[in-house]
Amino acid sequence: MRRMTFLPMVVATVAGVVAFTSRTSPRAAAQDAAPIYGVIIPPGYRDWRMISVAHVGEPVNDLRVKLGNDMAVKAYQEARPFPDGAIIARLAYRAVTSEENNKVFRAAAEQRGLPAEQIEKLLVASSVAGPPTNVQFMVKDSKKYASTGGWGFAQFTDGKPDGEAVHKTCFACHAPAKDRDFVFTSYAR
């Protein structure tokens, strides 16, 4: 009886050790990390607080929300420099027309007696977040990323890091925001 309960425990323990080591081995980490900067997807980032939102028109046509971890949001709110450990996330979604929203707005406009051409425009007026395109991160570490303004950059599509060529473009394009610590987005109150 004792032997029978002991065996599954051993199996479970060994399986646990194997799962743990394969998840934390350098090879697995390198596969999930973005090239150049070695940034991985920060756990729990989807629940971070909002910094602001943005919309980029055609041909990109996406909706973007910027989220920050506690260190980043605190720095924004207190108008202080971003400390090491601050992370800003930029989540982008294809903007798609919401027929459901438009129907409601159209009905309300008709009730208010708006002119027909104004009501026609309301047909395409409401966009919502459609499928995600990619997620970008800026991770502050003034020593590790000294040569790129103290920021590590990373972009992931479907949870996988994008290639080296993409990551070579990040810092140069953020250079115009040098006097704001290379960050474009300001905090939306």
Positions in the binding site for ligand HEC (CB under 6 A)? 54, 56, 64, 66, 88, 90, 136-138, 153-155, 166-167, 169-170, 173-174, 183-185
Nearest approach, Cβ of residue 56 and ligand HEC (Å): 6
CA distances from 105 to 97, 102, 126, 128 (A): 13, 5, 9, 14
Measured from the CB atom, is 122 or 138 closer to ligand HEC? 138
Nearest approach, Cβ of residue 182 and ligand HEC (Å): 7
Measured from the CB atom, is 59 or 115 closer to ligand HEC? 59
Rounded distance, CA 56 to CA 61, Å? 5
One-letter amino acid of 187: Y
- For residue 164, give both structure tokens: 């080296």
Measured from the CB atom, is 102 or 134 closer to ligand HEC? 134
One-letter amino acid of 26: P
Measured from the CB atom, is 73 or 138 closer to ligand HEC? 138
Rounded distance, CA 135 to CA 51, Å? 15
- The distance of Cα 1 from the centroid of its chain, to the nearest Å, equals 52
Nearest approach, Cβ of residue 147 and ligand HEC (Å): 15
Nearest approach, Cβ of residue 155 and ligand HEC (Å): 4
Radius of gyration of the chain (CA): 23
Rounded distance, CA 89 to CA 151, Å? 12
Q: Residue 1, Cβ neighbours under 10 Å: how many?
A: 5
Nearest approach, Cβ of residue 85 and ligand HEC (Å): 15
Measured from the CB atom, is 122 or 145 closer to ligand HEC? 145
Q: Residue 182, Cβ neighbours under 10 Å: how many?
A: 21
